[in-house]
Amino acid sequence: MQAELDHLKDLLTRARQEVAKVIIGQDDVVEKALIAIFTNHHALIEGVPGVAKTLLVRTLAHVLGCDFSRIQFTPDLMPADITGTNVFNLQQNQFTLLKGPVFATFLLADEINRAPAKTQSALLQAMQERRVTIDRDTHLLPDNFTVFATQNPIEYEGTYPLPEAQKDRFMLKISMGCPSREEELTLAARTLGTESPEATLAAGIVKPVVTADELARVRGYLGNITVREELVGYVVDIVRKTRAHNSILVGAGPRATQAILLSSRVQAALNGRDFVTPDDIKDMTRPVMDHRLILRPEFEIEGLTVAEVIQRILEEVAVPR
């Protein structure tokens, strides 16, 4: 068991080191993305244009030995553009499936909120069941299938709000901000030379640390990370508190409980531990809850934010000793 945990910790460390060759700074963002991948769940990435959201997912796919596909969501995108369609083959006198971009291991749904609900719903079955249905035939997706969806936090013209059912299928909401001045200076210097982030990835300097098959096997090692019964109750109390808080209109469902527990185990592994602490749970509560909670309008008018409500809940729920 200890050997498996050591292998998991080493793999996570090497993955972060390889990604850092391309992505300058953004350490917390990289860790949250790895948490989504190693728990076999999906993530919603929010950030202004130009902060390397697409490059991050491409780099992670390369480092983890998985294939990558990208969909640019637009208002005229149709569900068949995502899943694929059957086309009649005259030579074979039969229909042949032309697979859409969803048939990949890592799928980047770029600006997902620019497509209407009908198109967004094409991803629901894929995200939940890792399979798609085309003309009544069901097709399996890779076991490591992961969706990274991006959206712009400041531009709402021509966008469609994500349905609550779809937001709940994203384990984490990852906020990707601009780099610090020192990090941006490093980026500027590399851009003027031959070591720009895009060139570094294309040159093969970044090495894969695992294969897709090994990734699925290593994910099972997380079961060796201890989560005390008291901490399980702590997570349940946090989630249930969101359903009774006076400032929250819609609280988190049971899927949030699962997400906090699973992500906390990877957080512990990233920190080199084989057990989960209350701090791991607190660290993962905000990214898990941020996109799930809906505040009451009267509190939003007063300027209250979801982050502030989550912090209040963490302060109100007793921490187990």
CB environment 86-116: b (16+ within 10 A), e (fewer): eeeeeeeeeeeeeebbbbbbbbbbbbbbbbe
DSSP 84: E
Exposed, middle or buried by CB within 10 Å (0-12, 13-18, 19+), for 218? middle
- pLDDT at 87 (0 to 100): 85
Q: Mean pLDDT throughout 242-252?
A: 91
E strand or H helix at 244: helix 229-244
**Least confident window among 5-14, 23-32, 99-108:** 5-14
Q: What percent of the chain is predicted at pLDDT more than 70? A: 98
Q: Which domains are seen in the chain, by residue range?
A: 2-223 (3.40.50.300), 225-321 (1.10.8.80)
Q: Mean pLDDT throughout 96-113?
A: 90
Q: Mean pLDDT throughout 89-109?
A: 86
Using alpha carbons, select from 172, 128, 150 the residue that is nearest to residue 34: 172
Q: Residue 248's pLDDT band (boundaries 50, 70, 90)? A: very high
Q: Residue 104's pLDDT band (boundaries 50, 70, 90)? A: very high
- pLDDT at 154 (0 to 100): 62
263-311 pLDDT tens trace: 999 999 998 888 999 999 999 999 999 999 999 999 989 889 999 999 9
Is it the case that residue 314 has pLDDT exceeding 90? yes
- pLDDT at 158 (0 to 100): 65
Q: How far apart are CA 100 and CA 173, in angstroms?
A: 26
Q: How far apart are CA 131 and CA 83, in angstroms?
A: 10
155-206 pLDDT tens trace: 666 677 787 888 889 999 999 888 889 989 988 988 887 788 888 888 888 8
Q: Mean pLDDT throughout 78-92?
A: 85
- pLDDT at 145 (0 to 100): 93
Q: Mean pLDDT throughout 10-38?
A: 91
What is the residue-averaged pLDDT of the chain? 89
- pLDDT at 311 (0 to 100): 94
Question: Model-level pTM?
Answer: 0.91
